Amino acid sequence: MFIGHYSAAFAAKRAAPSLPLPLLFVACQIIDIFWGSFVLLGIEKLRIVPGFNASNDLDLYYMPYTHSLSSALVWSFGAALLCWLATPGSTARLRTAIVIGVTVSSHWTLDLLVHVPDLPLWFDSMKVGLGWWNYRTFALLLELALLWLAIAFCLPAAGAARTKYLVFGAVMSGVQVFSLLHQPPEAASVAQQLLMTYFALSVAAWWIERKSRAVSA
């Protein structure tokens, strides 16, 4: 899953409006951010296999540190703990920590829907995945539906940024379609492209919130 992961960020923004949207964008993709970095460092592995599934050519055969259920739980707890430690005295301290933890953990849950059985339950063993990537059109529509349902859910908390959220959603939908039609031919290029996209979307989310605060002021 790609753009569909951001549905968790928009839903979390409604649940905890005080949390910055760019922080939630990082939280929902932090597992993939580390995955891309680990691939470039040679710690985790993928290979390009043409026609591996109907949606992409990615054989994600070794990613125990980021995409196992056990590691995802560690990432989620760690993110929640960091949020807890970073907000002493906040009346919403527990709520925001839980929201951050759930946002991080949503990554593995959403991946479970589309991945072929390459998600380990423990380290690199007992791999699972429902394989909905094998249904190309359905998988695309699922990602877009998750994104737009979450944006609609989030709009009451968007304030002056409502229109920007809708435009941003349209741009993100375009990114999803482009990623489906254009896939890099090398493993390192895949990781680099995804990392650059995660960074660009987080910067865009920051810009939207910054402009919205300026309008409100």
Taking only the tens of pLDDT, the chain with its 217 residues reads 999 999 999 999 999 999 999 999 999 999 999 999 999 999 999 999 999 999 999 999 999 999 999 999 999 999 999 999 998 887 889 999 999 999 999 999 999 999 999 999 999 999 999 999 999 999 999 999 999 999 999 999 888 889 999 999 999 999 999 999 999 999 999 999 999 999 999 999 999 988 666 555 4
Sequence spans of domains, the chain: 3-212
Contact assessment for residue 55 and residue 134, using Cβ atoms and an 8 Å cutoff: yes
**Token pair of 148 as six digits:** 């737009």
Q: How far is CA 23 from the centre of its chain?
A: 12
Residue 35: how many CA atoms within 13 Å on its side-chain side? 27
Strands of the chain, DSSP E: 45-48, 58-62, 119-122, 125-128
- pLDDT confidence of residue 214: 59
Strand locations in 45-139 (E): 45-48, 58-62, 119-122, 125-128
**Cα 211 to chain center, whole Å?**
23
* pLDDT score at 158: 87
Neighbours of 66 (CB within 10 A): 22
**CA torsion through residues 134, 56, 140, 5, sign:** positive
pTM given for the model = 0.95
